[in-house]
Copies of this chain bind each other. A is one copy, B any other.
Amino acid sequence: MKKNLIAQSTLLILIAFFTINCNTSTQNSTTKNAEFGIVIHGGAGTILKENLSDSLEKAYHSKLQEALNAGHSILEKGGTSIDAVQAAIMIMENSPLFNAGKGAVFTNAGTNELDASFMDGSTLNAGAVGGVTIVKNPITAARAVMEKSDHVMLSGEGANQFAILQKLDTVDNSYFYTERRFKSLQKIKNSETGSSKLLSEHNDYKFGTVGAAALDKSGNLAAGTSTGGMTNKKYGRIGDSPIIGAGTYANNATCAISCTGHGEFFIRYAVAHDVSALMEYKNMTLEAAGNEVINNKLVKVEGSGGLISIDKNGNVSMPFNTAGMYRGYMLDNKEAKTFIFK
């Protein structure tokens, strides 16, 4: 009788063990971490403390804080995650500190061509523009494609025309000029003909992007990304920023994500959608899924970059495999937190 009891207890323990293991060790957390919140990035790359002056470091923190506050104040009042994402991104687009909007990098032809994308996690609607040259805030064009067209992705001169029809703020291409970015283009062009040393010093030319992801009080997720692309880009190169599933993804069932990094790798690895798929199909947490893609899959193939993300329960994760990533988040009524280095 006693032996039987021991056997029965062992049985129950083993059943419990196998049941738990069915969902793997990275169980999806179901407890609410925050009711609402926003997370942003201003690009990832070889950002080292010794290369950043104190005043510039301060300027980055201050601008990230301003972007977080703009998005957060919308969420706090019960506004949508879409409005919050747009407000945060516009502040970074308007700042010459980041490679998006004003201060975007230059193409090989000496022009500025901008890409952006937007996704609404509640409907899986999405919009994107590639290579716009006259839209002051490309994220507003991506949103207009999402909300006011039957399409997901518009490109080049056609995308400019659509923006004009939508009465978006347009500017002359020279609006995007900054001396700093123009000098970067000259340096890289010189290094193409001269030594390749300069090129590696300016490796950051690949990584500039801004992005935001938010969860609103109604439980809706949204994400957006905006960029000037790659310095010295040729041949109408399109990176991951305007590609839904690569640079941007949002799905109320899982999470909202914006990526930044060496775009070609982010397209080939369908990074943003892969993180969502790992959560949905493998029951991984946001943290585990993001790390699997950024710090395992991409690291193995030397795909540099990172992402910012927030899940349906208000968990935030900001993995990156570079020296630094301009980033921050603001949850519920807590203070904003901003970071630059590892």
State whether A155 touches B22 (Cβ < 8 A). Answer: no
State whether A267 touches B244 (Cβ < 8 A). Answer: yes
A10 adjacent to chain B (CB < 8 Å): yes
Report B-chain residues with C-beta under 8 Å of the C-beta of A269.
124
Among A19, A119, A130, residue most surrounded by chain B Cβ atoms (within 10 Å): A130
State whether B14 touches A267 (Cβ < 8 A). Answer: no
State whether B7 touches A154 (Cβ < 8 A). Answer: no
A4 adjacent to chain B (CB < 8 Å): yes
A236 adjacent to chain B (CB < 8 Å): yes
Report B-chain residues with C-beta under 8 Å of the C-beta of A156.
131, 155-156, 236
State whether B126 touches A155 (Cβ < 8 A). Answer: no
- Asked, given contacts A131-B155, A237-B154, whether A245 binds B264 with beta carbons under 8 Å apart, the answer is no
A330 adjacent to chain B (CB < 8 Å): no
Report B-chain residues with C-beta under 8 Å of the C-beta of A159.
235-236
Q: List 23 A-B contacts (CB under 8 A).
A: A7-B7, A7-B11, A15-B18, A22-B22, A119-B268, A130-B130, A131-B155, A131-B156, A151-B237, A152-B263, A153-B237, A154-B235, A155-B155, A157-B236, A158-B235, A158-B236, A243-B243, A244-B267, A245-B246, A245-B273, A273-B274, A273-B277, A277-B278
User: Chain A: residues with CB nearer than 8 A to chain B?
Assistant: 3-4, 7-8, 10-11, 14-15, 18-19, 21-22, 119, 124-126, 130-131, 149-159, 161-162, 234-239, 243-246, 249, 263-264, 267-270, 273-274, 277-278, 281-282, 301
